[in-house]
Chains A and B, each alone.
Chain A
Amino acid sequence: MSFVQNFPFFSIILAMFSGIVSSVLKGKKARVLSICAIGVTMVLSAAVLAHCVVTGESYVYWMGHFPAPWGNEIRAGVLEGLTALLFSAIMLLSVIGGVKYTQTDVEPGKQNLFYILIDLMLSSLLALVYTNDLFTAYVFVEINTIAGCGLIMITQTGRSLTAAIRYMVMSSLGSGLFLIGLSLLYDVTGQLLMSPAQEAVGKIVESGQYEIPLLVIVAVGSVGLAIKSGLFPFHYWIPDTYGYATPTASAILSGLVSKGYIFLLIKFYYRVLSPESVVRSHIGNVLFLFGVAGMMLGSLRAIMQTDTRKMIAYSSVAQIGYIYMGIGLGTPEGMIAAVFHIFSHGATKALLFLSARGLYRVSGDRTDFLALRGSGYRNRLAGVGFLVGSLSMVGFPMLSGFISKLLFATSAMASPGKMLTTLIALAVSTVLNAVYFLRLLTGLYRPARSGAYAAGAGPDGAAGGRGNAPGFRIAVLCLIAFNLILGLFSQPIVRAITEGLAMFS
């Protein structure tokens, strides 16, 4: 066993311990520790990815040297490594980019608490990505929920408190369903580890027993995780939750947290049940239907908004719909497209939330479209960031969103029954995306009315882009680059996803 194989475990434990240590640190030190931990995690994940790519196979890591039916396991392959790498990269950029805003939004005495939550969030996301044990996954789902709730409510406004309670209610429903699903699975298979459970499920399917319990397990597990990731019609908590948190929290919640659950769902399908039995259960059709509905209605609701924060949040509802549509296609190509969109949306949403906050800053902290007029000139970097993010969401060539849409469209070709619906849904939703994003974008580059804010000077006296904190600048530039890389050099990433999914089963 090579030393690199320890890294998934190291990165989870590192993130968790830095959270514990942060509880006795002052805000600034906690921040440095957190950023370092995320950075180190990124390097470790990259090493895991490199190791898996070079050896060309996944490996199972025994926790505490207990073999399969008793011990707890971590499993790492190309897809896990890639996901961990990209998740930690997006997280790092969101944290760095939002440092200034975190300082203003969070009470001075509670700064370190914010970074504890970030650390816990990171460790739970990594655990969801790496774990090979369903019950461990459940425990980390709950840790993730609690950390997410903390990130929402830490700004202490009325909005964020009510958003947090709604988030908790919906998340508890989701985790309850997931827990009953895995209890039933344990009941029929006698296993909680993913690989032995898959063998047992295979035998059960072959013998033709327990058809209904298996169907219930698939349904309950999928619905539970779909509620938690905010699939339409369980999306009503999303706008307030994503819209009114501090930008770092918004970026992480919308870009990563919901994606962590979707990743777990994909693992549940590939590693516990087999893709064939999932297709046979027709749950994919249900997810497909709600995914398409979410794409349409999320975009329509986004068009109706006049508040930028809510508009971006509703656009997340639509993007989650895309991912579920890809999963619902029930083909390997659809799954590849869905996984690619997880990364693409994560990078784009982080960019949008960060740069939007940069635009509010130069518009007197107002968020309606009217106040944002001309803010693209007042804060050029944020304007460019928002431009790139929006165009990527719309599906402009060269940006990551275009590749997602291309992958969705080509994968639809392979599943005749759903081809027409998918293509129409993609076309309509692209037009709708364009409507609301371009409406805002044209506003950003129109001169402000009656000189409310004299050109170049924000209300806080910051001139142009010069008022941007260095961290914000780095993060926005990196995220723009990230989007371009995903858009221009998507082949290696798509190949890695394909390889990783092949390793799953």
Chain B
Amino acid sequence: MLGELNLNLEEEAAMVLFGIGFTMLLLHRNLIKKILGMNIMDTAIYLFLAAKGYIAGRQVPILTGGVTDPAAYINPIPSGLVLTGIVVSVSTTALMLALTIRLYERYHSLDLDRILISMKQEEEEQL
């Protein structure tokens, strides 16, 4: 079992990175680090997809030199998925960063716990 570890290095790296990103996004209190974690998590999935689409010894799927045999090219679909995924993750990152700026302007902190505490204090003062 362990002897097969070096067969799928990219996939293993992707899964480890996914775990790291997931944990950071879930557990870290700093909002910027949460966003970093989200990006690591998404990138890990793209690495996984790209690794799965790659077939050793084949070319980029762009028609050159009139070779129309599909056996000459790698699988283009995962690359397409990665591109779409990047677009999606860029927009979520932008939204999260914008939200972080809003929260920082209001509570002068990036620590989510501290933000929640000052939010509750602010509400109590209003009452």
Main secondary structure on A side of the interface with B: helix
- Is there an interface contact between B34 and A169, defined as CB atoms closer than 8 Å? yes
- Is there an interface contact between B119 and A180, defined as CB atoms closer than 8 Å? no
Closest A residue to B38 by beta carbon equals A172
Q: Judge whether A162 is part of the interface by a CB distance below 8 angstroms.
A: yes
**Contact A153:B99 (CB < 8 A) given known A159-B119, A176-B41:** yes
- Is there an interface contact between A183 and B45, defined as CB atoms closer than 8 Å? yes
Q: Judge whether B74 is part of the interface by a CB distance below 8 angstroms.
A: no
- Is there an interface contact between B22 and A173, defined as CB atoms closer than 8 Å? yes
**Contact A158:B106 (CB < 8 A) given known A179-B45, A179-B85, A180-B48:** yes
Q: How many B residues, CB 8 Å from partner?
A: 36
Give complex CA distance A142, B45 in Å: 15
Give complex CA distance A173, B31 in Å: 14
User: In A91-149, which residues have CB < 8 Å from any B CB?
Assistant: 135, 138-139, 142, 145-146, 149
Give complex CA distance A29, B119 in Å: 35
- Is there an interface contact between B42 and A165, defined as CB atoms closer than 8 Å? no
- Is there an interface contact between A161 and B48, defined as CB atoms closer than 8 Å? no
Give complex CA distance A165, B31 in Å: 9
Closest B residue to A146 by beta carbon equals B95
- Is there an interface contact between A158 and B122, defined as CB atoms closer than 8 Å? yes
Query: Interface range on chain A: under 10, 10 to 19, 20 to 34, or 35 or more?
Result: 20 to 34
- Is there an interface contact between A165 and B38, defined as CB atoms closer than 8 Å? no
User: In B20-37, which residues have CB < 8 Å from any A CB?
Assistant: 21-22, 25-26, 31, 34
User: In A157-205, which residues have CB < 8 Å from any B CB?
Assistant: 158-159, 161-162, 164-166, 168-169, 172-173, 176-177, 179-180, 183, 186-187, 192
Give complex CA distance A146, B91 in Å: 9
Chain B neighbourhood of A186, CB < 8 A = 49, 52, 77-78, 81
- Is there an interface contact between B99 and A146, defined as CB atoms closer than 8 Å? no
Distance (whole angstroms) from the CB of B75 to the closest CB of chain A = 9
- Is there an interface contact between A158 and B119, defined as CB atoms closer than 8 Å? yes
Q: Judge whether B84 is part of the interface by a CB distance below 8 angstroms.
A: yes
Chain B neighbourhood of A169, CB < 8 A = 25-26, 34
User: In B40-99, which residues have CB < 8 Å from any A CB?
Assistant: 41-42, 45, 48-49, 52, 77-78, 81, 84-85, 88, 91-92, 95-96, 99
Chain A neighbourhood of B115, CB < 8 A = 162
Give which listed residue, A142, A161, A179, contacts B99 with CB less than 8 A.
A161
Give complex CA distance A229, B47 in Å: 27
- Is there an interface contact between A168 and B99, defined as CB atoms closer than 8 Å? yes
Give complex CA distance A482, B119 in Å: 38
- Is there an interface contact between A165 and B112, defined as CB atoms closer than 8 Å? yes
- Is there an interface contact between B18 and A180, defined as CB atoms closer than 8 Å? yes
- Is there an interface contact between B38 and A142, defined as CB atoms closer than 8 Å? no
Give complex CA distance A389, B122 in Å: 33
- Is there an interface contact between A183 and B49, defined as CB atoms closer than 8 Å? yes
- Is there an interface contact between B95 and A173, defined as CB atoms closer than 8 Å? no
- Is there an interface contact between A165 and B99, defined as CB atoms closer than 8 Å? yes
Chain B neighbourhood of A135, CB < 8 A = 81, 84
- Is there an interface contact between A145 and B26, defined as CB atoms closer than 8 Å? no
Distance (whole angstroms) from the CB of A445 to the closest CB of chain B = 26
- Is there an interface contact between B116 and A162, defined as CB atoms closer than 8 Å? yes
Give which listed residue, A153, A164, A176, contacts B38 with CB less than 8 A.
A176
Distance (whole angstroms) from the CB of A342 to the closest CB of chain B = 26
Chain B neighbourhood of A172, CB < 8 A = 25, 38, 41, 92, 96
List 6 A-B pairs, minimum CB-CB distance, nearest first: A158-B119, A142-B88, A176-B41, A172-B38, A165-B99, A187-B52
Hey, which bits of chain B sit against chain A, CB under 8 A? Answer: 18, 21-22, 25-26, 31, 34, 38, 41-42, 45, 48-49, 52, 77-78, 81, 84-85, 88, 91-92, 95-96, 99-100, 102-103, 106-107, 112, 115-116, 119, 122-123
29 contacts between A and B (CB under 8 A): A139-B84, A146-B92, A149-B99, A158-B106, A158-B123, A159-B119, A161-B99, A161-B103, A161-B106, A162-B103, A165-B99, A165-B100, A165-B103, A166-B112, A168-B95, A169-B26, A169-B34, A172-B92, A173-B25, A176-B41, A176-B42, A177-B22, A180-B18, A183-B45, A183-B52, A183-B81, A186-B49, A186-B77, A187-B52
Hey, which bits of chain A sit against chain B, CB under 8 A? Answer: 135, 138-139, 142, 145-146, 149, 153, 158-159, 161-162, 164-166, 168-169, 172-173, 176-177, 179-180, 183, 186-187, 192
Using A166-B112, A186-B77, A186-B81 as known contacts, list a sample of 10 further A-B pairs with CB atoms less than 8 Å apart, ordered by residue number in A: A135-B81, A145-B92, A165-B99, A169-B34, A172-B41, A180-B45, A183-B45, A183-B48, A186-B49, A192-B77
